[in-house]
Amino acid sequence: MTDADLTVRDIGEFGLIDRLSAALPPDVRTASDVHVGIGDDAAVWRPDAGEDVVITTDSLVEGIHFRLDWTDWESLGHKILAVNVSDLAAMGAAPKLAVLTLGLRGDELVRDLEALYRGLGDLARRSSMTLAGGDIVRSPHGLTFHVTALGQTRQQRTLMRSGAYSGDLIGVTGTIGASAAGLRLLALEDDDARRTAATADLLIAAHLRPEPRVALGEVLLERGATSAMDLSDGLAGDLPKILTASGVSAWIDERRLPVAAAVRALFPNEWRELALRGGEDYELLFTAPPRAWDAIASEASAIGGPVTAIGEILLRAGTASTLEIIDAQGARRPLLPGAFDHFGGA
């Protein structure tokens, strides 16, 4: 049997741990503030003096969050970590370390899992994170990946969903709807002309390899944003969470939504729904007072991350928060909240 044919069953749990550890960049396996990492019963990390620890966790389940016939293993490794780093970015936190649990069938090729760790390790290195360990378990019904990521505050400050005020502008980083468009492209038949469009690969990459906005999260924290969260469940699903947490209402303008030209071109009748309810963009949704906007926009542009003002926070008139949208004709009407729910559908 060649090395390329080795499966998890062939080398066992402990052999796999050695191979996967070796697949990570050296600076991802160790760090000066991680006193015990991979290879012991638990990791030991010491945050900077006076800073609070920010903790997030996410799971990716085969058939629910990813399909192996749609993604390569390196991209999958990237996304496993990216969805967690995005949560830290939304809080304005500095990413520090992560632990990962692999649920495997046992017939996976070792080289595929090494590729997964290369994708994960590259993002960890660029995010200045340490992979401090984890677990490997048998999962006979499909692959599962569980990541817990830890960061620390910056001068004991964080961005939360509950800080929006009346008069704040509502902003988003980057563009929205690209990930949902990429997922839609993956589901198309091979002979659909949209699959071979020049921009198709860019949209698919937005779904398979989202880039967490860590630097922009820091900009928002330092330049006066009042609330933030990452866009994982779509604008119509996530903005109401900020409104409810902050006890406010809002309007947004459809004409201001930063939707990529490729999304509009390939899905001329669907781009609006993809942008509002598609999800998995992992951009940052935030609020900021008008006086802070120019500084935020200027610094965001300097690091290659544009921001767009799409609406405004309002005082809440009744007991419940409301959200309105101004459509392409200038008419203003309620926008019903809605996002993917693991147990309730859309």
Please tell me the predicted confidence (pLDDT) of residue 334.
Answer: 95
At residue 324, the 3 state secondary structure works out as strand
DSSP result, 18-36: HHHHHHS-HHHH-BTTEEE
Nearest 5 degrees, angle CA 172-CA 301-CA 281? 35
Please check whether residue 228 is in contact with residue 91, taking contact to mean a CB–CB distance below 8 angstroms: yes
Q: How many CB atoms lie within 10 A of CB 227?
A: 26
Tell me how far CA of residue 120 lies from CA of 26, 56, 74, 286, in angstroms.
13, 17, 7, 27
Please tell me the predicted confidence (pLDDT) of residue 35.
Answer: 66
In angstroms, the CA 182 to CA 191 distance is 16
How many Cα atoms occupy the beta-carbon half-sphere of 44 within 13 Å?
6
Q: Please list the residue range(s) of the chain that carry CATH number 3.30.1330.10.
A: 3-152
Please tell me the predicted confidence (pLDDT) of residue 132.
Answer: 87
The percentage of the chain sitting over the pLDDT mark of 90, rounded to a whole number, equals 79
What is the chain's Cα-based Rg? Answer: 21
pLDDT of 344 higher than 60: no
pLDDT of 341 higher than 60: no
Rounded to the nearest angstrom, the gap between the alpha carbon of residue 129 and the centroid of all alpha carbons in its chain is 16
pLDDT of 42 higher than 90: no
**Two tokens at 91?**
């809080």
| pLDDT level of residue 266 (50, 70, 90 thresholds) | very high
Reference 144, options 65, 71, 86, 41; nearest CA is 65
At residue 167, the 3 state secondary structure works out as coil
At residue 217, the 3 state secondary structure works out as helix
Domain 161-334 bears CATH identifier 3.90.650.10: yes
Domain 3-152 bears CATH identifier 3.90.660.10: no
Please check whether residue 267 is in contact with residue 248, taking contact to mean a CB–CB distance below 8 angstroms: no
Please check whether residue 153 is in contact with residue 54, taking contact to mean a CB–CB distance below 8 angstroms: yes
Indicate the average pLDDT of the chain: 93
Please tell me the predicted confidence (pLDDT) of residue 173.
Answer: 98
pLDDT of 49 higher than 50: yes
| pLDDT level of residue 342 (50, 70, 90 thresholds) | very low
Please check whether residue 102 is in contact with residue 137, taking contact to mean a CB–CB distance below 8 angstroms: yes
Please check whether residue 222 is in contact with residue 286, taking contact to mean a CB–CB distance below 8 angstroms: no
Q: Please list the residue range(s) of the chain that carry CATH number 3.90.650.10.
A: 161-334
Q: What are phi and psi of 39, to 5 degrees?
A: 115, -10
- Of residues 141 and 202, the one with the higher pLDDT is 202
Please tell me the predicted confidence (pLDDT) of residue 69.
Answer: 94
Please tell me the predicted confidence (pLDDT) of residue 26.
Answer: 86
**pTM tops 0.95:** no
Please tell me the predicted confidence (pLDDT) of residue 14.
Answer: 85
**Two tokens at 321?**
């928060």
Please tell me the predicted confidence (pLDDT) of residue 269.
Answer: 95
pLDDT tens-place string over residues 81-105: 999 999 999 999 999 999 999 999 9
Please state whether beta strands 169-173 and 284-288 pair in parallel, antiparallel, or not at all (unpaired). antiparallel
pLDDT of 343 higher than 50: no
pLDDT tens-place string over residues 208-219: 999 999 999 999
